Amino acid sequence: MRVLTVVGARPQFVKSFPVSRALAPDHEEVLVHTGQHYDEELSAVFFDDLDLDQPDYNLGVGSHTHAVQTAQIMERLDPIVAREAPDVLLLYGDTNSTVAGALVGANRDVTVAHVEAGLRSGTRSMPEETNRIVTDHVADVLCTPCRAATETLEREGLGDRVHETGDVMYDALRWAERIARDESAVLDRLGLDESFVLATVHRPRNTDDPDRLAAIVEALVTHPAPVVFPVHPRTAAALRDQGLFETVQSELHCIDPVGYLDFVRLLDAADRVVTDSGGVQKEAFFLETPCVTLREETEWDETVAEGWNRLVGARTTAIRDALATPVDATDRGHPYGDGDAAERVVEVIADG
């Protein structure tokens, strides 16, 4: 089987690598990086950390409006799909790179497979929600990470395309957890020898709304323990625009975004994580690090139902309360599979 994989944003490098490893022995893979993320710390560092082959193509699209970014990926990807003539076009998650790949594949003679299918947050104002819905309805093969995602697709009339493979992020995390503990020097490098909170923020709903961003910053800067804050470039720009950058820099332990192994080490060692990331909510759950989510809803309801994740939105008091409240959770369950999702994805797509 010849597979053409499209990735472009940070979480997609993490999601694709277990599948690339599972494909390697028996199948051919052409890797296309759209260039949606291009800074070293959002892109190259993952290829080093995960020992990934360099992409066969980099479309170099860079940052634009959603429409322009999606359109440019489509325009540059289409001739590559035509030339490479893959059997399967493999897509991950819900970014503009994902939906652009789905729309290109829909009009070419190729099986489109979507990994992490069936997730919904119910918020159509998020571009990711539109990307997920369009991609799921266009794709031929839908690999879901959990039961709820399968049921969602069944309700949408797509049940005959669904395969519940489990979550490839769990495979990635299981691989990274031990290596990160053995090899990452991030705790020493940052001088972290006491308990700390890890924070990540990058959703436009939080960064681009001055009230929400100010409320989040207020909760973090007044937290009594150190807060380690790897700052996404979108967030750095918003903090500067809103005059909050200096406060955040002086009160928090701000760092550039870190590679996957360092991030997993930080998340494992942290007392809590405060985040609006989708992937980080789940990784926190896998590592049993209590999570405080800066959103009103989540695609990952299981993490909330099992008591490891609290949705607090962007209200200062709610964030503070959640950080101060002990977690009422015991050993977590396995709603996202057993860590063999990548092999199952490969079996499913190889079966056609």
Helices (H), the chain: 10-23, 44-49, 66-84, 96-106, 127-138, 147-155, 168-183, 186-189, 204-207, 210-221, 233-241, 245-251, 260-269, 278-287, 301-305, 316-324, 341-350
| Shortest spacing between CB 277 and ligand UDP, in angstroms | 3
Q: Bridge partners of 90?
A: 5, 113
With binding defined as CB under 6 A, does residue 226 bind ligand UDP?
Answer: no
Q: Could you tell me which stretch among 255-263, 299-307, 324-332, 339-347 binds ligand UDP (CB under 6 A)?
A: 255-263
Of the pair 128, 268, the CB lying nearest ligand UD1 is at 128
Tokens 């309360």 belong to residue: 321
From ligand UDP, ligand UD1, none, which one binds at residue 36 (CB under 5 to 8 Å depending on kind)? ligand UD1
From ligand UDP, ligand UD1, none, which one binds at residue 263 (CB under 5 to 8 Å depending on kind)? ligand UDP
Distances (CA, A) of 140 to 91, 102, 108, 213: 11, 10, 12, 39
Binding test (CB under 6 A) with ligand UDP, winner from 207, 277, 293, 298: 277
Footprint of ligand UD1 on 26-45 (CB under 6 A):
36-39, 42
| Shortest spacing between CB 146 and ligand UD1, in angstroms | 19
Q: Could you tell me which stretch among 48-56, 89-97, 241-249, 316-324 binds ligand UD1 (CB under 6 A)?
A: 89-97
Active-site hit among 114, 202, 223, 232: 202
Checking DSSP bridges between strand 88-92 and strand 309-311, what pairing results, if any? unpaired
With binding defined as CB under 6 A, does residue 108 bind ligand UD1?
Answer: no
Binding test (CB under 6 A) with ligand UD1, winner from 28, 63, 147, 154: 63
Q: How many chain residues interact with ligand UD1 (CB under 6 A)?
A: 19
In a 13 Å sphere around the CA of 224, the CA atoms on its Cβ side amount to 3
Binding test (CB under 6 A) with ligand UDP, winner from 196, 229, 260, 300: 260
With binding defined as CB under 6 A, does residue 233 bind ligand UD1?
Answer: yes
Residue 206 three-state SS: helix
With binding defined as CB under 6 A, does residue 11 bind ligand UD1?
Answer: yes
Residue 309's CB: how many other CB atoms inside 10 A?
Answer: 25
Q: How many residues does the chain have?
A: 352
**Nearby residues of 29 by Cβ (< 8 Å), 6 or more positions away:** 3, 4, 5, 20, 23
From ligand UDP, ligand UD1, none, which one binds at residue 233 (CB under 5 to 8 Å depending on kind)? ligand UD1
Tokens of 317: 């008091």
Q: Which amino acid is at 237?
A: A
CB 212 within 8 A of CB 314: yes
CB 345 within 8 A of CB 164: no
With binding defined as CB under 6 A, does residue 202 bind ligand UD1?
Answer: yes
Binding test (CB under 6 A) with ligand UD1, winner from 20, 95, 144, 206: 95
User: Catalytic site residue 202?
Assistant: yes
CB 124 within 8 A of CB 99: no
With binding defined as CB under 6 A, does residue 202 bind ligand UDP?
Answer: yes
Binding test (CB under 6 A) with ligand UD1, winner from 116, 128, 136, 177: 128
Which residues form the interface with ligand UDP (CB under 6 A)?
10-11, 14, 200, 202, 230, 257-260, 263, 277-280, 283
**Which residues are catalytically annotated?**
202
